[in-house]
Structure 1
């Protein structure tokens, strides 16, 4: 591609050089035209000076001087015509060379473009062949190293399997530890609940025992009261019987002349 760029740039440099050459040729032509145009003026001025000096020196040579001046003027005109013809021919030659140069530049640019296209096609074909060769070489290397690749794949699969098993074991152990912690926490809560229930039951049993003890004491008090009441009844009954006996004694007298009367009292229930 570098060569093709250098070829494409060469016509522009040639055109640039051709422009400079045309400018230099035009400047040289202008200088030569000025030079040639100045020469007749100098010669005419010299001839005028000579004619003036000749006329001043002698009047008899005036006709010869006029003839010489006219001859010189004709020669100058002929020379000017020849110079114009030379310039015209030079201009034609320059136009011909310019046309040939432009044709050469166009041909060179067309050849450069053709070479650039060919170079691009060659590079694309080379890249395609290189890619095919690389693909073929890769396939050959893969075929050669097929067993190594399969062994490497199997090794990596085993490593991944062991890593997965290790991860699963760690996760299972973590779950078991979590379950043990949960079980321990639940057992602790149940123990606290059981202790609370036992405390409540003990409190209730204590209250029941106190109530039973109080009830027993009340029963004992009632029994004691009943016993005292029974003793009081027995005492009252005995006193009543004693009074009755004393009254009977009073009624019957001292010697017991009358039969004894017996009175019985029903116990008070």
Structure 2
């Protein structure tokens, strides 16, 4: 009986030690996965901070360049568009990388599922001479963790290989998209310049028409003023001529009156002096006395 008990105790101790070792390995795996996740999170944070810094620098540069004149504005607009193109190209590259990772992970998971299920069925079978102390859920959890680790490593390796293989293709695609974006941006800039030239041409034409209209109005006003001045001068000249004519007539009348007066005075003097027998003869007659 003692021997049977000692024999029965030994596998239990073995089972407990294996269970502790599994727990330790599981905790190690969890800590390593957590450290990897934390590193991945830190890297993603660094990338997001870098992208924010780039976007902030781009925005600050665009706002600072907006205070310059027209030519510098166009240059800053071109630079901001180039930064936008680079950012879009980087986003497209990251999207392609994520798609490749997801595609590879799905393929790898589909290929590894039968192996893991077979492994699970093997692990669920109890060892000969031992009791099955572990539950199927714990075994499944261990298998899933191990499978997740292996899948992660395989996916990482496969993604690196795939990226290395398709590096030139991705770079060509990115260069192609960048070139298309540049071409589109150049077309838009040319169209914008053409619109600005057309707007300036219309504004210049409107300004010239306004200046011509104002000039014509001024010329009309000056012509009207000149006409009024000429009319006033003509009236003034006519009035002056009329005054001169009236003065002449008055002078002639005065001269005529003066001559008549002098003539009358002379005639009276002649009468008084009796010159030229102008004096009447006196006749005397005697009346008889009665």
- TM-score, normalised with respect to structure 1: 0.49
- TM-score, normalised with respect to structure 2: 0.46
Structure of greater relative contact order (alpha carbons < 8 Å, 6+ residues apart): 1
